[in-house]
Amino acid sequence: MGAGPVGLLLAGDLGLLVAEVLTWVMQRRIVLAERVQQLRKELAETEAEVARLEAAEVVIGQSVEAERAARRTMPSWTRSWSASPRRVVVPAGRIGNRGRTTA
Protein backbone atom coordinates (compact mmCIF):
# COMPACT_ATOMS: atom_id res chain seq x y z
CA MET A 1 0.00 0.00 0.00
CA GLY A 2 1.50 3.22 -1.11
CA ALA A 3 0.69 6.77 -0.29
CA GLY A 4 -2.06 7.02 -2.86
CA PRO A 5 -5.00 9.41 -2.77
CA VAL A 6 -6.86 7.29 -0.19
CA GLY A 7 -3.80 7.12 2.10
CA LEU A 8 -3.34 10.91 1.93
CA LEU A 9 -7.00 11.50 2.70
CA LEU A 10 -6.84 9.29 5.81
CA ALA A 11 -3.62 10.95 6.97
CA GLY A 12 -5.24 14.40 6.56
CA ASP A 13 -8.36 13.33 8.46
CA LEU A 14 -6.20 11.89 11.23
CA GLY A 15 -4.26 15.14 11.50
CA LEU A 16 -7.52 17.08 11.70
CA LEU A 17 -8.86 14.72 14.36
CA VAL A 18 -5.68 15.06 16.42
CA ALA A 19 -5.89 18.86 16.17
CA GLU A 20 -9.53 18.80 17.32
CA VAL A 21 -8.70 16.49 20.23
CA LEU A 22 -5.78 18.71 21.21
CA THR A 23 -8.04 21.79 21.08
CA TRP A 24 -10.64 20.06 23.25
CA VAL A 25 -7.99 18.95 25.76
CA MET A 26 -6.62 22.50 26.04
CA GLN A 27 -10.09 24.03 26.46
CA ARG A 28 -11.02 21.44 29.08
CA ARG A 29 -7.78 22.11 30.98
CA ILE A 30 -8.55 25.85 31.02
CA VAL A 31 -12.11 25.27 32.25
CA LEU A 32 -10.89 22.92 34.98
CA ALA A 33 -8.10 25.31 36.01
CA GLU A 34 -10.67 28.11 36.41
CA ARG A 35 -12.88 25.80 38.44
CA VAL A 36 -9.93 24.92 40.68
CA GLN A 37 -9.32 28.63 41.30
CA GLN A 38 -12.98 29.15 42.20
CA LEU A 39 -12.99 26.16 44.54
CA ARG A 40 -9.79 27.38 46.24
CA LYS A 41 -11.41 30.78 46.78
CA GLU A 42 -14.55 29.16 48.23
CA LEU A 43 -12.40 26.93 50.44
CA ALA A 44 -10.46 29.93 51.76
CA GLU A 45 -13.72 31.76 52.51
CA THR A 46 -15.13 28.69 54.26
CA GLU A 47 -11.95 28.21 56.29
CA ALA A 48 -12.07 31.88 57.33
CA GLU A 49 -15.69 31.50 58.46
CA VAL A 50 -14.81 28.36 60.42
CA ALA A 51 -11.97 30.26 62.13
CA ARG A 52 -14.34 33.13 63.03
CA LEU A 53 -16.89 30.70 64.46
CA GLU A 54 -14.20 28.89 66.46
CA ALA A 55 -13.07 32.23 67.91
CA ALA A 56 -16.66 33.13 68.76
CA GLU A 57 -17.07 29.74 70.44
CA VAL A 58 -14.04 30.40 72.62
CA VAL A 59 -15.19 33.90 73.56
CA ILE A 60 -18.73 32.75 74.38
CA GLY A 61 -17.38 29.80 76.39
CA GLN A 62 -15.10 32.11 78.36
CA SER A 63 -17.99 34.48 79.01
CA VAL A 64 -20.22 31.67 80.25
CA GLU A 65 -17.43 30.32 82.45
CA ALA A 66 -16.73 33.80 83.88
CA GLU A 67 -20.41 34.25 84.67
CA ARG A 68 -20.53 30.86 86.39
CA ALA A 69 -17.44 31.72 88.41
CA ALA A 70 -18.98 35.06 89.42
CA ARG A 71 -22.17 33.32 90.52
CA ARG A 72 -20.17 30.88 92.66
CA THR A 73 -18.53 33.76 94.53
CA MET A 74 -21.66 35.83 95.24
CA PRO A 75 -23.78 35.24 98.35
CA SER A 76 -26.57 32.69 98.03
CA TRP A 77 -29.38 35.23 98.45
CA THR A 78 -28.10 37.27 95.49
CA ARG A 79 -27.80 34.15 93.35
CA SER A 80 -31.43 33.24 93.93
CA TRP A 81 -32.51 36.84 93.39
CA SER A 82 -30.58 37.30 90.13
CA ALA A 83 -31.54 33.88 88.81
CA SER A 84 -35.23 34.70 88.75
CA PRO A 85 -36.07 38.31 87.92
CA ARG A 86 -39.25 39.59 89.50
CA ARG A 87 -41.83 42.00 88.17
CA VAL A 88 -43.15 44.75 90.32
CA VAL A 89 -46.90 45.07 89.96
CA VAL A 90 -48.49 48.36 90.97
CA PRO A 91 -52.28 48.49 91.18
CA ALA A 92 -53.93 50.86 88.71
CA GLY A 93 -54.40 54.35 90.05
CA ARG A 94 -51.70 54.03 92.67
CA ILE A 95 -48.87 55.53 90.62
CA GLY A 96 -48.31 59.16 91.55
CA ASN A 97 -50.36 59.04 94.78
CA ARG A 98 -47.39 58.71 97.10
CA GLY A 99 -47.58 61.05 100.08
CA ARG A 100 -50.97 62.41 99.15
CA THR A 101 -54.12 61.82 101.08
CA THR A 102 -57.37 61.30 99.30
CA ALA A 103 -60.61 62.68 100.71
pTM of the model: 0.50
| Cα distances (angstroms) measured from residue 28 to each of 1, 20, 62 | 38, 12, 51
HSE-up of residue 62 (Cα within 13 Å, Cβ side):
6
3-class secondary-structure state, position 3: coil
The whole-number pLDDT of residue 1 equals 45
Domain ranges of the chain: 14-72
Greater confidence (95 vs 59) lies with: 59
40-84 residue pLDDT tens: 999 999 999 999 999 999 999 999 999 988 888 877 666 565 556
